[in-house]
Amino acid sequence: MASSHVRLRRLILGLVFIAIVFSLVSRVAVPVNRIFGAHAGNALTQEQVRAAAEAAASRGHRRKRPVPRILHQVFHNWHQPGNETLPPDWQAARQTCLDLHPTWEHKLWTELASREFIRSEYPYFLDTYDGFKFPVQRIDALRYFLMRHFGGIYMDLDNGCRANLDPLLHYPAWVTDGGQGTLSNNIIGAEPEHPFWILMTDSLGPWARDFLLPYITISYASGQWYETEMWQIYHARKPPTEPDLLRVMMDMRPSGAPWVFFTAGRGGTWDNWDNQVLGWMGNHLFRLMLYIVASAGLVAGVWYLVVVGQRRRYRRLANGPPLSP
């Protein structure tokens, strides 16, 4: 009877342990899957975006153009505050966009102009803006508020233009997608006051936390992980009658679709020691999870064999013949 009670107690403890582990894994796995799993929205290659515009033009169809002809770029000189001269490679990349869009409004947001914009238009957010632990988080937040307030297209300075961006102005809100891992926020577009960018900006304050590691803090509190999480939440909450938003593909892998509108140059100005490691983890999430599960199973199996083997040995000794002097 006593042994059956012991086995029952062990079974209950084992089930409780499994339930706790399952609960913890679920709390981590659900947001991780939202960020690194399959993304909501409609994915189009840049060639498909251009082809849609050309097809509409050939039919004489006048498509709505909700996105204004404004190109936003941001330059915060962290190494030489007050020096607003762009590095030559970034100036060259920017010039490609200036040359291809002579009638557009081009806005280059310096550090002082950026803070003044937040102070005058969104004063409730100024303390959070000033309080970001890493300067790049202010650039992340700024681009979202620019999309909400002005609309237009935002582009990082290490990106340039291959072709006129007018075909992208027909989609009321869009982000870019590298085809692996998270969505990208290096190039984004919007009409003013689109609900997605309202969600993005309204959620920044509650998410502005320190996640210990620099890369995680930057990515999850304001950067690409944050953007991807909000993207998934927006699509989960929106009414079924509202159309899905656009993901413009920017896959840099050799197998990716050709880039029609954009070029890519030197970036990574905010890299920290954990960037490469955690970036790899994000891009290889499911392989990493498989390794973790396999390793945990191996450890649990070895532990079980050792513990059970010891208990059986002790039981044999306890039940064996008495020792003779």
> Is 243 a domain residue?
yes
What's the CATH code of the domain at 228? Answer: 3.90.550
- If pLDDT is split at 50, 70 and 90, which confidence band does 323 have? very low
| Mean pLDDT, residues 272-295 taken together | 51
> Is 3 a domain residue?
no
| Mean pLDDT, residues 257-285 taken together | 64
Q: Residue 82: its pLDDT value, please?
A: 85
The residue ranking higher by pLDDT, 2 or 150, is 150
> Is 8 a domain residue?
no
> Is 299 a domain residue?
no
Q: Residue 36: its pLDDT value, please?
A: 76
- If pLDDT is split at 50, 70 and 90, which confidence band does 8 have? low
| Mean pLDDT, residues 309-313 taken together | 61
Helices 135-149, 195-202: axis angle to 10 degrees equals: 150
- If pLDDT is split at 50, 70 and 90, which confidence band does 28 have? very low
Domain count, the chain: 1
> Is 265 a domain residue?
yes
Helices 285-319, 275-283: axis angle to 10 degrees equals: 90
The predicted-structure confidence for 136-162, as pLDDT tens digits, reads as follows 999 999 999 999 999 999 999 999 999
Q: How far apart are CA 81 and CA 34, in angstroms?
A: 38
> Is 155 a domain residue?
yes
The predicted-structure confidence for 99-110, as pLDDT tens digits, reads as follows 999 999 999 999
Domain range for 45:
25-286
| Mean pLDDT, residues 253-265 taken together | 94
Query: Is a pLDDT exceeding 80 seen at residue 215?
Result: yes
CA 52-54-60 angle, to 5 degrees, is 105
> Is 297 a domain residue?
no
Q: Residue 16: its pLDDT value, please?
A: 54
> Is 162 a domain residue?
yes
Span between the terminal Cα atoms of the chain, in Å = 34
Q: Residue 15: its pLDDT value, please?
A: 54
Query: Is a pLDDT exceeding 80 seen at residue 25?
Result: no
Q: How far apart are CA 73 and CA 161, in angstroms?
A: 13
